[in-house]
Amino acid sequence: MKLSCVTASYVMDPLGYPGQFDWGRASEMIEHSPALETLEGLLDRLALAKLDGIEIWFPHVAATKLTPALASAIRKRLAARGMTCAACAGGVGDPSLDPYAAEEPFQIAHLLKAPIIAGHMPASTVRQLGPLCAQYGVRVAFENGGERDAAEILAAIQGGDPWVGVGLDTGNMAAQGGDPVRAARELGTRIIHVHLKDVPAVGAHECVALGSGIVDIRGMVRELKAVGYDRWLSIEVETSDHDPTEEIIASAERLRRLWGEGS
């Protein structure tokens, strides 16, 4: 098991957690903030979580500011903490509409040596990404958004291929009224990335610490271990009214305990 945290958990950081989400404004502010200093600050706050890596949300490393030198500096800061870039989080544009914009996320992931781009995107886009994946050596993990079960996910990616797999988001599925534990069982080895997220109720947008909401985290760990999953578990706790650091740390501790049970 390798533990990470999605930096999108801190989406409302620049707005001071006003009590409601404003993804557009927050994203713009993050894109214009100094990347290295911002990420270093998040890593300092997450130190007690003892993570193996960090999943960097694209606004934190916007293409307008990420140079090879800056990417190298980020990798070195991570290495100094014994960490790597687990993945890049976010969508990819449609190559048929704007091939250059579609290529940017792959260039960013390549510079950060991230093995995966994990995000939700239209099925029509996902099916065109194989050549870019092969060119940059970066896989795409399709993240369920409105999909409620394994069948809908597999339909979106047409079963997947060597470059495209499933990025199962437990909170998104639970918020849609789906069963992420059953989905994990049915998807099996097609899962190449996991966003472990918990929500308090169906339809909720706020997140809570893993095990505090409606997602059966113990069941998720059981199913992932059963299929031999040994990739990244990326904790995601998006909150609009308070800093989520304590919940992220508690979630990491819970995951280590659950993963170790029966080992």
The pLDDT of residue 111 is above 80: yes
Q: What percent of the chain has pLDDT over 90?
A: 96
Q: What domains can be seen in the chain, in order of their start residue? A: 2-260 (3.20.20.150)
User: What's 189-216 look like in SS3?
Assistant: HHEEEEEECECCCCCCCCCECCCCCCCC
Give the model confidence (pLDDT) of 1-11 as tens digits: 899 999 999 99
Residues 8-38: b if buried by 16+ CB within 10 A, e if exposed: bbbbbbbbebeeebeeeebbeebbebebeeb
For 146-173, what is the mean pLDDT?
Answer: 94
Give 240's contacts (C-beta < 8 A, 6+ positions apart).
12, 17, 18, 19, 20, 21, 205, 206
The pLDDT of residue 236 is above 70: yes
Give the model confidence (pLDDT) of 125-152 as tens digits: 999 999 999 999 999 999 999 999 999 9
The pLDDT of residue 263 is above 80: no
Q: Which residue has the higher pLDDT, 262 or 6?
A: 6
- Residue 262 banded pLDDT, cuts 50, 70, 90: low
Say if residues 24 and 39 touch (Cβ distance below 8 Å).
no
The pLDDT of residue 12 is above 70: yes
Say if residues 30 and 14 touch (Cβ distance below 8 Å).
yes
For 224-251, what is the mean pLDDT?
Answer: 97
Q: What is the pLDDT of residue 261?
A: 85
The pLDDT of residue 24 is above 70: yes
One-character DSSP codes across the chain: -EEEEBGGGGTTGGGT--SS--HHHHHHHHHTS-HHHHHHHHHHHTGGG--SEEEEEGGGG-TTT--HHHHHHHHHHHHHTT-EEEEEES----TTT-HHHHHHHHHHHHHHT-SEEEE---HHHHTT-HHHHHHHT-EEEEEPSS--SHHHHHHHHTT--SSEEEEEEHHHHHHTT--HHHHHHHHGGGEEEEEE-B-SSTT--S-B-TTSSSS-HHHHHHHHHHTT--SEEEE----SSS--HHHHHHHHHHHHHHHHTT-
* Type of residue found at 140: V
- Residue 52 banded pLDDT, cuts 50, 70, 90: very high
The pLDDT of residue 161 is above 90: no
With tokens 């870019």, the residue in question is 132
Q: What is the pLDDT of residue 170?
A: 98
For 246-262, what is the mean pLDDT?
Answer: 94
**Which residue in 205, 202, 142 sits closest to 168, CA to CA?**
142
